[in-house]
Structure 1
Amino acid sequence: MTIRRYLVKDMKEARARIRYELGSDAIIVSSRKVRPKGWKNLFRKKRLEVTAALDSPRSAPSFPNPPAGKIPEGTVRSSVRPEAQRQQPQQLLQQGSREEHLEKEIRELKKMMDRLMEEKEGSEGSEGRSFPVCLMQHLKTMDLDDSVLREVTAFCSQVGNAGMDLRKARQFFSDFFHRSILTEEKAEQRVWVFIGPTGVGKTTTIAKLAAREVLKGRKTGLITLDTFRIGAVGQLRTYADILHIPLEVISSRQDMSGAADRLQNCDRILVDSAGSNSRRMDQLLEIQACLDEIKEKQTILAVSATTRRSDLKMILENYGNVGYDSIILTKLDETQCYGSILNIGCYSDKPIRYFTVGQAVPEDIRQVSGENLLDYVLKGMEV
């Protein structure tokens, strides 16, 4: 019997090499993950070690050629096994039948093992990793809160490695979104106020939403409190001129109610506040005092998808003191790490309402749904 071991990337490569070197009659005896020896290979990925066997055909017994002439009678008798002399024809037929049956069983066993390996390979991720392992490795690159990872781990254990696949993962995250991110918010108000840290793209986001409202046939007005940032008023005025909608610029909270009254014929009023340092409570309290001048409003917090986990948690907690009703996640096109989507569900009980994916007005803004969030969270999953 010929036995060989192969160090390969996956089972597909193993079967190809086995068929090439040993032929189609060889069978796979075992497979396991191993790491190549040596300190240089310490941090390399494990390889697949596959052991294959081929049952070599029996060779006919060889006898020394007798010298020419008469063969001694004793030699002839000694070269024939006594058992063979005593075997009857019926016994020989039965023995042949058993050998054929055994060969058939071996062939069936080989087919079954090949089929099982194909099924196993189909249920595994790249380089032989199981789907749950692939999923956890994917999620660990997303700077996720530990509570999310624990919840996913518990779900994988509940379902079982064999039963966990992409469909189950999508169902898990869909349930998570509807429970934590797509929760119902209060009845829609006429006035939308936008707050958030500096540099998250509030003004551009407001322009996108204003354009959407105008395209829907709604009378829309703009108010800006952001008189501190150079060019902020000019940027919003440009958008207002393009859309042919009114813009009110105010410099103090006392002007807020008057500006809202001047836009009372508008179906929608969008208010741009000054960006603030989320660590400065004095700035946040100043924004809160200004917003208190508007009695009926919906406050929307804008946060960037590029914000790292610890900062995102602080922003959501500190702006929680100001009060907000929903969230807009901006700059989703500027990152490959979409963990902020799930982290918001951990750190806030408010829903994500929109997300932005570029600078184009009004195209690059999307209303949140379970499906488009799933596409981002599971983007790049190797299955």
Structure 2
Amino acid sequence: MRIRVFSAPHLHEALSKVRKEMGPEALILDRQQSKDASGNSLWHVHAALDAVAPPPAKPVKPAPQPVAEPAQPHPLHADATIRRLERMIEGLGNRESASLRQALTEGADQRAFDLLLKLGVSASHAFDMAPDFARRNPTGSKTIRWGKRINPGEQRHIVLFTGPSGCGKSTLVAKLAAHYSMKGIRVALASTDTERMGGLDSLKAYASTLGIPFFPLRKAADAGDILRQTQSAQLLLIDSEGWSPRRDFGLKRQTALWDAMQCTQRFLVLPANMDEEDGMQLLGHHSASAMTHLAFSKLDETQKPGKIVNWAISAGLPLGYCSFGPEVPEQMGWMTDHALTALLGKTGRDASV
């Protein structure tokens, strides 16, 4: 029997090393948590493998064979292969979840882990969050980046909101405009959604109701004039045309407009009812478009809000605004670790009813 010790700052990382080095048949003997010289957490996993694989046989040069046309796989055979691979991947995920759950010694932590999985949080993140979540402490405070709330009363902010079509950007911008206007902040609105029929109408109507200036931004040359006309505004909110990661030309055209507006913050808005993989694909573009924060909309339209945890950690961007419905200006706020804990807790209770 071959026994090895694998060490990493997090348990799931150590378990990942076991699978990589010894394969899925490795037996986990023990898990221990300690501190390194700097006082940081360090996990040690003892793993064993019953049999050592024999060394590969010396390859024998095959006799030359006539070249034949490659056989085309039958569609049914290809589908069956894909299904087998999907089952293998699912099995590995279930095995990882079981290992992480077993490493939580408290029953309350294990129940919190199960609930977080049910809400869409990935197993490795659920493991890190479960102890705090079980005790209703601020969840994700150590694993997620939290943005600093903007304060237009102290300095001028030019804030862009962008994301896929229909993600709720315009509604969030309208909510913020109403919220800050009622606080006595001088607000102005602009929009780059000038190519789509009716793209400016809803936000223009909100601006008229609130009595604040509104400007369409059609080309980069318009930016200088808009910035001059809004010099007295403490907060300039910019709505953008929706874009898709499958059609990069829209994003590239928009980026030139955003650069010309000298934005102080750029929020990528992800709707919580979006498929998680589609959201991950969108996040692959945030570096090229120089996003600074994440914002979430439609949090009332999903039973798996935990996906926003996976998005946030994957993107490495600080969290900012969140929106829960179409009402203006209600159901909007700044996402904090306390707000996330309340959101996951409420959805978890509703799901268990």
For residues 218-247 of structure 1, what are the alpha-carbon distances to aligned partners after superposition, in whole Å with 9 as ceiling and x for unaligned? Answer: 111111110123322111111011000111
Aligned equivalents of 1:323 and 1:165: distance in 2? 32
Q: Distance in 1 between matches of 2:183 and 2:290?
A: 29
Deviation, structure 1 residue 313: 1.5
Give yes or no for contact 2:158–2:262 (8 Å, CA) kept in 1: no
- Structure 1 residue aligned with 2:264: 297
Q: Which amino acid aligns with 1:236?
A: L
Overall identity of the aligned pairs, in %: 26
Q: Matched residue of 1:240: which SS?
A: helix
Kept in 1, the 8 Å contact 2:157–2:234? The answer is yes
8 Å CA contact 1:325, 1:350 repeated in 2: yes
Matches of 2:120 and 2:203, distance apart in 1: 34
> What is the CA–CA distance in structure 1 between the aligned matches of 2:261 and 2:216, rounded to whole Å?
15
Higher helix share: 1
3-state SS of 1:320 partner: coil
Paired letter, 2:134: L
Distance 1:205 1:186, change over 3 A: closer
Deviation, structure 1 residue 165: 8.2
Aligned to 2:304: 337
Distance 1:184 1:220 in 2: 20
2:172 counterpart letter in structure 1 = T
Residues 1:295 and 1:165: Cα distance change in structure 2 (over 3 Å): closer
For 2:296, the aligned partner's letter is L
Q: Which residue number in structure 2 is paired with residue 166 of structure 1?
A: 134
Deviates more, 1:244-253 or 1:336-345: 336-345
Contact 1:326 1:352 in 2 (8 A): yes
TM-score scaled by length of structure 1: 0.58
On the 8 A contact 2:159/2:266 being kept in 1, the answer is yes
Quote how far apart the aligned CAs of 1:296 are: 4.6
Greater Rg by CA: 1
The amino acid that maps onto 1:248 is F
| Cα contact 1:278–1:319 (8 A) shared by 2 | no
Contact 2:190 2:239 in 1 (8 A): yes
AA partner of residue 213 (structure 1): Y
Could you tell me which of 259, 276, 282 is aligned with 1:315? 282
Equivalence for 2:145: 181
Q: Which residue of 1 aligns with 2:273?
A: 306
Q: Which residue of 2 aligns with 1:236?
A: 203
Q: Secondary structure at the residue paired with 2:215? A: strand
**Aligned twin of 1:200:** 167
Question: Distance in 1 between the 2:285 and 2:185 partners?
Answer: 34
The one-letter code of the counterpart of 2:277 is S
Give 3-state SS (helix, strand or coil) of 1:180's partner: coil
Question: Is the 8 Å Cα contact of residues 158 and 236 (structure 2) preserved in structure 1?
Answer: yes
- In structure 2, distance between residues paired with 1:259 and 1:165: 46
In the alignment, which residue of structure 2 is the partner of 1:283?
A: 250
Matching of residue 213 in structure 1 with residue 177 in structure 2: no
Letter of the 1:304 partner, please give it.
Answer: P
Distance 2:264 2:250 in 1: 20
Letter of the 2:118 partner, please give it.
T
- The 1:239–1:349 alpha-carbon spacing in structure 2 relative to 1, beyond 3 Å, is same
Distance 1:310 1:146, change over 3 A: farther
Q: Report the alpha carbon displacement of residue 294 of structure 1 after superposing the two structures with TM.
A: 2.1
Q: 1:180 to 1:225 in 2, by over 3 A?
A: same
Q: Is the 8 A contact 2:167 2:269 kept in 1?
A: yes
**Which one of 87, 94, 108 corresponds to residue 131 of structure 1?**
108
Q: Retained in 1: the 8 A contact 2:267–2:293?
A: yes
Pick from 240, 259, 266: which aligns with 1:273?
Answer: 240
1:226 paired residue number: 193
Do the aligned partners of 1:300 and 1:328 also contact (CA within 8 Å) in 2?
A: yes
How many residue pairs match? The answer is 242
Please state how far the C-alpha of 1:295 moved relative to its aligned partner: 2.6
Displacement of 1:276: 0.4
Give the letter for the 2:186 counterpart: K
Amino acid in the other structure paired with 1:182: W
Kindly tell me: are residues 185 and 204 of structure 1, through their superposed partners in 2, closer, same or farther at Cα, counting changes over 3 Å?
closer
* Aligned-residue CA RMSD (Å): 2.6
Deviation at 1:166, TM superposition (A): 2.4
Contact 1:305 1:335 in 2 (8 A): yes
Go from structure 1 to structure 2 and tell me whether the alpha carbon gap of 1:184 and 1:246 turns closer, same or farther (over 3 Å shift). Answer: closer
Question: What is the CA–CA distance in structure 2 between the aligned matches of 1:199 and 1:375, rounded to whole Å?
Answer: 26
- Secondary structure of 1:371's aligned partner: helix
Range that drifts further, 355-364 or 228-237? 228-237
The separation in 2 between residues aligned to 1:342 and 1:250, in whole angstroms, is: 33
Work out whether residues 221 and 247 of structure 1, in 8 Å CA contact, stay in contact via their aligned partners in 2. Answer: yes
Gaps of 5+ in 2: 1-105
Tell me, yes or no, if structure 1 residue 145 matches structure 2 residue 112: no
SS at match of 2:287: helix
How big is the shift at 1:146? 4.2
Residue 327 (structure 1) shift? 1.7
Q: Distance in 1 between matches of 2:249 and 2:161?
A: 18
